Chain A
Amino acid sequence: KAGVTQTPRYLIKTRGQQVTLSCSPISGHRSVSWYQQTPGQGLQFLFEYFSETQRNKGNFPGRFSGRQFSNSRSEMNVSTLELGDSALYLCASSPRGDGNQPQHFGDGTRLSIL
C-alpha cells in the first residue's frame, strides 16, 4: 500500500506570494490533517478534513486554508506569505480520524520564504 504522498518536497517563495501544497492520503483513508513544524514551535495543528469537510481547526490566521476533494486528496493554501511561514508542512492521514487511530505521515513539504 502506498504511503502518504506530499508534493512538492521543497518550495522557495518570496514574501507576499501564495502557495498551494498537495497531499494524497493512503488509499481508503478519509481523514487528512495538516501540521506546521518549526524548530521554535514544534508541531502545530493546522486543520483536519474528513469527507470534504473541515472538522477541526488550529490557531492559525485566515491566510492558511485548505480543502479536501472527493477522492480524499487534500490541498493546503497559504496566501500573502510571511518570513515566519518558513517551515516543514506535514500531512497525515487516518481511516476515520478517530482518536484511537494513529496518523500516517508524509515526508512533508519544506517551504522557505525569502
Chain B
Amino acid sequence: AQSVTQLDSQVPVFEEAPVELRCNYSSSVSVYLFWYVQYPNQGLQLLLKYLSGSTLVKGINGFEAEFNKSQTSFHLRKPSVHISDTAEYFCAVTDWRAGGFKTIFGAGTRLFVKA
C-alpha cells in the first residue's frame, strides 16, 4: 500500500541556519513526488516536484530536495532559513491506482524559525 511518512512533526530552527525536513514513502510502482507549503489560513502551495531525471530538484524560495530511490526518501532542504519560512510543509506522493492517479500526503512538518 502507498504511504508517506514525515519523520518530524515539528522542527524548530534559528534564522539563517540550515534545515532538512525528512520524508520517506512506500509504493510498489513508480511515483511522482511533491513538497507543498501551507501558511496559516491558506491552502497548499507547490514548493517543488520530482517527476523524473535529475534526482536533485530545486524549487521556490531557495528550497531543494533530493530523490533517493534506494532509500525511498525525498528530503527537503534549505541552506539558510528566514523567519518567513515558518509554515507547515507537506510531502506528497502520487502513483497510479485502479481508476487513476492517487495522491497521498504526509502528516506534515511544522517548521518554526526563531530569531
Contact = CB atoms under 8 A, between A and B. Distances in A.
Interface of A: 4, 33, 35, 42-43, 45, 48, 50, 55-56, 90, 92, 97-100, 102-108
Interface of B is mostly: strand
Contacts, number: 56
Interface stretch (B10-18, B63-71, B74-82, B88-96): B88-96
Interface residues of B, number: 26
A80 B55 CA distance: 47
Contacts of B105: 35, 42-43
Interface in B41-58: 41-46, 49, 51
Interface of B: 32, 34, 36, 41-46, 49, 51, 90, 94-97, 99-108
Contacts of A100: 32, 49, 51, 94
